[in-house]
Structure 1
Amino acid sequence: MSLSVPSNGPPPAFQAINTIELVSTKDSKIISVSVYAGRAEITRLFKFAVKTGQNQLTILGLPAVLDQESLKVEGRGAATIHDVTISSITPPPVPTTSPTLSALLTKQKRAQKALARALKSISSLETYLTSVNSDHLEVAKLKEVVEGYDSTAEELDNKVTELEAEIKETTDAISEEKNQLAGPTENEKLNLKAVIGVFAESEGDIKVALVYAVHNATWKAGYDIRVDMQSKEKPISLIYKASITQSTGEDWDDVPLTLETAAPTFGIGVPVLTPWTLSIAPNYYGSFKSKSISYGRAPPGAAVPAMSSLLSAVPSASLARMSSRDDSSEEGVAEMHHRELQVSSKGAVSATFGVPGLISIPNDGVGHSVTIARLSLDAEMSWVCVPKKDTRVHLKAKIKNASEYTLLSGTASVYVDGSFISKSEVPLVSPDEGFDCPLGLDPSIRVTYHPLNKKTSQSGLYSKTSVHSFSQRITLHNTKPSSSNGSLKIKVIDQVPVSEDSTIGVKLLQPPLVLPSAEGSSSGNGVQRAVKVSPGIVAAWLGTDEETGQDVDADALGKDGKFSWTGSVQPQSQIGLILQYEVSAPLKTKIAGL
């Protein structure tokens, strides 16, 4: 029988109110934890006995970071909850002294004075020895003086050593006594209490669950991406991990835990545009003051969602777990099993991950890693090189998230064939969406950027023109063994100069690409964006999708002079690429940047 809402009218009067006082961390058990980015929702179960009539339950030691607006009380039993209040616990005044502390301070002061006297005695003894004139003393007397000095100095040195040790021991005892007087520091983090009025129809045990949100708790995603270059199918093994951190003041010991990807958006509404007007300045040469324009602020009085609206819903299984998560010794309940990993949502907006088994996250502010899932994924490998800047070849993978998990943005450790390569960033990836993952350098692909060949000639009968012809050879060599997984797809990026003056002309001869806006660039029903320069090798302006022939930005395509070759290179073979272009300008024109 569930706790019900009180009916209209006051409850019948009883002789006395039964008071019950429980300590949250000792007299209850956490049965559910849901961790969000920046907060967590806790469900804590209490079981206690009530008497017929009015009962007042006081729960002490709730975390100070508890969001009071999010507190909910639910339970099981023949009783009615009619009042819930939450407030801070006023700590008792901290005593500043005690008989033990006073005795220790006195002992310390006496030892310090004794030490000062001993040091002064040593100083006086040394002064006396310095003042003794050996010319006026017999040898026997001088021996007595020296022996007396040694004996007295040794006694004083031993006394100084004992006093210094005593002072240190007393100082440590004083610090320990002061710490005991101050009380445990943990009380500062658990200084809230909840007072709940419960009207019971009969005497017996009832169960009450507190559901509340706390700050100082969060989780973030992390990944291990392992690449097997010898595998033909699903070469990517992705380990999806979560790092959970909390410093809420209470330990989460052996709790069922879920990770939520939903992000709170309190007070974030659709931006409102403010009036934007123009007017003639009073003085063109004087100071001009423009009205400031603000974006994204909600108008005064706009409704802001309450905190409880986000975390008010208790999982339907929470109350059902109340009866099954008590101590098994009471009702002979079967041993608790670790639950399997579950995914409640697959979308990019929010997802819920049920961490398998029971987990403990102490109140230490340190990240604790758990594994969400191990995924085997397909990937398309590609090799990229920009030999004009660096002849080394970069390997990257286009990984498809063919799982039901939403991959949150996080840092990934990348391993290729068992060797650590680098750290990479994984963006937010929805199911069936792909993302790029750099896999470092591949030394087995060698690119040679041969010296640039330059020739200069003149043309024109009346208006002389200088023509500068350039030729650049590039060689790609795939040194992988013949037994490797076939040919590889490599993209080589290069560029030709771009003229910023109408008297300077640039013409790309090889590969024979033309600008989309150039005359004669139309071919068939569309504009020529990519050309086949040799079997298996295609050249295209950078920004063009070679497979579809479509571009990202048609207006900007080729305007920066950047293009690429894309082709396949078989193991133990090589291919050659040719770049040829001409730069023309009026004779004796000095061209900057050539």
Structure 2
Amino acid sequence: MISLDTAITAVTVYPDRARVTRSGKVEVPAGEHRIRVAPLPQDLLRDSIRVAGQGEVVVLGVDITTERQIAVTDEQVAALEERIRELEVAIGALGDSDRAADARIVFLDRLARRSAESLAAADSGRVSAFVDDLEAQYETVNTARRERDKLRQRHIREQQAVQRQLGDLRGKNRTDTEVAIITVEAAQAVTVDLDISYVVLGASWSSSYDLRLTDAGLTLRWFGLVEQRTGEDWPECRLQLSTARPAQALDVPELDPWFIGVEIPRPVMRSMVAGGASMDAVPVGYGAPAPAAAPPAMARKAAPIRESVAEVEHGVTAATYTPQRAVAVASDGTDHRTVITALDLEAELDHVTAPVQALEAVLRATARNTSEHTLPSGRAALFHESEFVGATHLDTWAPGEERELALGVDDRIRVERELVRRNASKATLGSARRIETEYAITVSNHTGRTANVTVLDRLPVARDAAITVRETTAKPQPAERGDLGILTWKLELEPQAQSTVTFGYRVEAGKGVVIDGLHD
């Protein structure tokens, strides 16, 4: 058996696993020999192991076996247990000595009381000698007690340390180690460079992004976050991030027949359903500060810092990214970030506000992915120049696809929504109940540039024939009217300008009809 020492030289990380390559050099005599490579991680997929390399040998086979290793010997455990017993005996002996000292103190107290009367008439020299002797005995007892207290504390600390050590050893039961046995045949003695690769679970990578809005446009930086708990640390080596999913798409999709039939009638349960239309929420972030003032002109402008990006190799169904520098990843689950690429996106900026929900305007970028990269879903941090303003989630973004991105609330666009009229009349004989409502929405542009603002509001939608809704006024006319009562205005505001949108509606209901869900 020839033992081969290997080191990790390359790792390809997939979204839910990794392929690890170990390399080593070994002297192989002439004939058939078995080469042992260990240890390997326990979670490796045995079917995935492959052997390659350079050298005049023939690989006859590769086997994965499990070797059981004893982490703790019985002698180690027995020695620690014996030491704990010795310390318990020593602590018990100190307790016995303390009880004997207590009895001696009681005896000295009684002796002092009994001798006090007989020594009352004695000469001073005899009394002084007795007192000195009694004090010496008290001092001897107390000194011995203090020494035993110190010794007891040392024994207790040692006992606790030994118990912790024993607990650690008992926790290290028999461990299993995966071992690769490579059988080779050589016509003559030769030096062989072997690469052994395998797929292991417990590793993954995900995407995160920085979206930075500047006067020059919208820049996206794509990062790969690598983490792993495979049981072996990855040193600085060639690291690749692949979007392939080895565990998926292994079968060609097929469909089963779709059968339909006659529905068996069932009792109908009536329930009261609250009326009122709903509107998708506009994503919001944090307040966006005004752009920083341009710095004074400099005689010579320093070149901006450049950042290395990964090399990309596009396959039929996946892409593989190779960072330009080696990356070390410890097996502790900690994220390790590496730059994949930086993109300048084509983007059109505008603002969107839905004042019925919030009196704020969200800065929106309608961007197109003009790169060759399919950007996986991930968390995106939003920046205006150098200021962090919030975070959002970015869904998978294909090349050429257009996407709306919420870049945070812009406090320089001020929005107000005011109820300017509301009349309600009660239903009388032969008449209907009528409620008329009118709102005014004022949008102000306090930025230093022209702002395009999309204003969203809504009319109530009747879900019962006994209730009718009519639009009574809309100034200016909405650019769009949705089937479910959503009204959309497109405003173009010059710097420091404002515009007001007014709209109203009438709700009518027959006598005895209670309108549910109507509110400001």
Q: TM-score range by the shorter chain?
A: 0.7 to 0.9
Question: What is the rounded CA distance, in whole Å, between the counterparts of 2:392 and 2:22 in structure 1?
Answer: 39
Residue 224 (structure 2) pairs with residue 242 (structure 1): yes
Q: Which amino acid aligns with 2:32?
A: Q
One of 483, 495, 498 as aligned partner of 2:458? 495
Determine the structure 1 residue equivalent to 2:43. 65
Quickly say closer, same or farther: Cα 1:130–1:498, change in 2 above 3 A: farther
Tell me if the contact between 2:466 and 2:513 (Cα under 8 Å) persists in the aligned partners: no
Matches within 5 A, 1:431-442: 431-442=399-410
Encode CA deviations 1:135-170: one digit per residue, 9 max, x unaligned.
984696788756744542242122222232134235
One of 70, 81, 93 as aligned partner of 1:114? 93
Quickly say closer, same or farther: Cα 1:376–1:129, change in 2 above 3 A: farther
Determine the structure 1 residue equivalent to 2:303. none
CA-CA distance at 1:37 after TM superposition:
1.2
Determine the structure 2 residue equivalent to 1:364. 332
CA-CA distance at 1:71 after TM superposition:
0.8
Residue 470 (structure 2) pairs with residue 507 (structure 1): yes
Determine the structure 2 residue equivalent to 1:470. 437
One of 392, 415, 419 as aligned partner of 2:360? 392
Q: Which stretch of the first structure deviates more once superposed, 134-143 or 360-369?
A: 134-143
Tell me if the contact between 2:56 and 2:186 (Cα under 8 Å) persists in the aligned partners: yes
Question: What is the rounded CA distance, in whole Å, between the counterparts of 2:409 and 2:508 in structure 1?
Answer: 38
Determine the structure 1 residue equivalent to 2:385. 417
Unaligned runs of 5+ in 1: 1-18, 286-338, 513-531, 542-556
Tell me if the contact between 1:108 and 1:171 (Cα under 8 Å) persists in the aligned partners: no
Identify the structure with bigger relative contact order (alpha carbons < 8 Å, sequence gap 6+): 2
Quickly say closer, same or farther: Cα 1:266–1:471, change in 2 above 3 A: closer
CA-CA distance at 1:429 after TM superposition:
0.7
Residue 240 (structure 2) pairs with residue 258 (structure 1): yes
Encode CA deviations 1:502-556: one digit per residue, 9 max, x unaligned.
34322113338xxxxxxxxxxxxxxxxxxx73xxxx5212xxxxxxxxxxxxxxx
Determine the structure 1 residue equivalent to 2:314. 345
Residue 153 (structure 2) pairs with residue 164 (structure 1): yes
Determine the structure 1 residue equivalent to 2:34. 56
Question: What is the rounded CA distance, in whole Å, between the counterparts of 1:364 and 1:177 in structure 2?
Answer: 25
CA-CA distance at 1:451 after TM superposition:
2.5
Question: What is the rounded CA distance, in whole Å, between the counterparts of 1:62 and 1:160 in structure 2?
Answer: 52
Quickly say closer, same or farther: Cα 1:268–1:147, change in 2 above 3 A: farther
Question: What is the rounded CA distance, in whole Å, between the counterparts of 2:340 and 2:494 in structure 1?
Answer: 39
Encode CA deviations 1:231-259: one digit per residue, 9 max, x unaligned.
1x42x222211111112222221210110
CA-CA distance at 1:261 after TM superposition:
0.8
Residue 411 (structure 2) pairs with residue 443 (structure 1): yes
CA-CA distance at 1:395 after TM superposition:
2.1
Q: Secondary structure at the match of 1:450?
A: strand
Question: What is the rounded CA distance, in whole Å, between the counterparts of 2:461 and 2:505 in structure 1?
Answer: 11
Q: Which amino acid aligns with 1:213?
A: V
Alignment root-mean-square deviation, CA:
3.6
Residue 500 (structure 2) pairs with residue 576 (structure 1): yes
One of 4, 7, 10 as aligned partner of 1:32? 10
Determine the structure 1 residue equivalent to 2:278. none
Q: Secondary structure at the match of 1:265?
A: coil
Quickly say closer, same or farther: Cα 1:456–1:95, change in 2 above 3 A: closer
Question: What is the rounded CA distance, in whole Å, between the counterparts of 2:49 and 2:408 in structure 1?
Answer: 50
Residue 203 (structure 2) pairs with residue 225 (structure 1): no
Q: Which stretch of the first structure deviates more once superposed, 135-144 or 60-69?
A: 135-144
Question: What is the rounded CA distance, in whole Å, between the counterparts of 2:427 and 2:151 in structure 1?
Answer: 104
Q: Which amino acid aligns with 2:220?
A: L
Residue 67 (structure 2) pairs with residue 89 (structure 1): yes
Question: What is the rounded CA distance, in whole Å, between the counterparts of 1:340 and 1:46 in structure 2?
Answer: 30
Quickly say closer, same or farther: Cα 1:266–1:119, change in 2 above 3 A: farther
Question: What is the rounded CA distance, in whole Å, between the counterparts of 2:159 and 2:59 in structure 1?
Answer: 55
Q: Secondary structure at the match of 1:403?
A: coil
CA-CA distance at 1:365 after TM superposition:
2.2
Question: What is the rounded CA distance, in whole Å, between the counterparts of 1:562 and 1:279 in structure 2?
Answer: 38
Quickly say closer, same or farther: Cα 1:566–1:100, change in 2 above 3 A: same
Quickly say closer, same or farther: Cα 1:83–1:346, change in 2 above 3 A: closer
Question: What is the rounded CA distance, in whole Å, between the counterparts of 1:345 and 1:116 in structure 2?
Answer: 77
Encode CA deviations 1:452-494: one digit per residue, 9 max, x unaligned.
302467999x9545554332211111112xxx3x311211111
Question: What is the rounded CA distance, in whole Å, between the counterparts of 1:589 and 1:92 in structure 2?
Answer: 82
Question: What is the rounded CA distance, in whole Å, between the counterparts of 1:491 and 1:142 in structure 2?
Answer: 102
Quickly say closer, same or farther: Cα 1:126–1:351, change in 2 above 3 A: farther
Question: What is the rounded CA distance, in whole Å, between the counterparts of 1:409 and 1:350 in structure 2?
Answer: 15
Q: Secondary structure at the match of 1:499?
A: coil
Q: Secondary structure at the match of 1:511?
A: strand
Quickly say closer, same or farther: Cα 1:472–1:176, change in 2 above 3 A: closer
Determine the structure 1 residue equivalent to 2:272. none
Q: Which amino acid aligns with 1:265?
A: Q
Calculate the TM-score normalised by the size of structure 1: 0.69
One of 76, 80, 94 as aligned partner of 2:58? 80
Quickly say closer, same or farther: Cα 1:277–1:371, change in 2 above 3 A: closer
Tell me if the contact between 2:309 and 2:339 (Cα under 8 Å) persists in the aligned partners: no
One of 532, 540, 549 as aligned partner of 2:480? 540
Tell me if the contact between 2:310 and 2:339 (Cα under 8 Å) persists in the aligned partners: no
Calculate the TM-score normalised by the size of structure 2: 0.79
Higher percent of residues as strand:
2
Question: What is the rounded CA distance, in whole Å, between the counterparts of 1:566 and 1:280 in structure 2?
Answer: 48
Q: Secondary structure at the match of 1:114?
A: helix
Q: Secondary structure at the match of 2:361?
A: strand
Encode CA deviations 1:364-389: one digit per residue, 9 max, x unaligned.
22111111122222322222222223
CA-CA distance at 1:501 after TM superposition:
3.3
Determine the structure 2 residue equivalent to 1:404. 372
Q: Which amino acid aligns with 2:310?
A: L
Determine the structure 2 residue equivalent to 1:213. 199
Q: Which amino acid aligns with 2:384?
A: V
Quickly say closer, same or farther: Cα 1:222–1:355, change in 2 above 3 A: same
Question: What is the rounded CA distance, in whole Å, between the counterparts of 1:205 and 1:113 in structure 2?
Answer: 66
Q: Which amino acid aligns with 1:505?
A: T
Q: Which amino acid aligns with 1:169?
A: E
Quickly say closer, same or farther: Cα 1:127–1:405, change in 2 above 3 A: farther
Question: What is the rounded CA distance, in whole Å, between the counterparts of 2:105 and 2:366 in structure 1?
Answer: 84
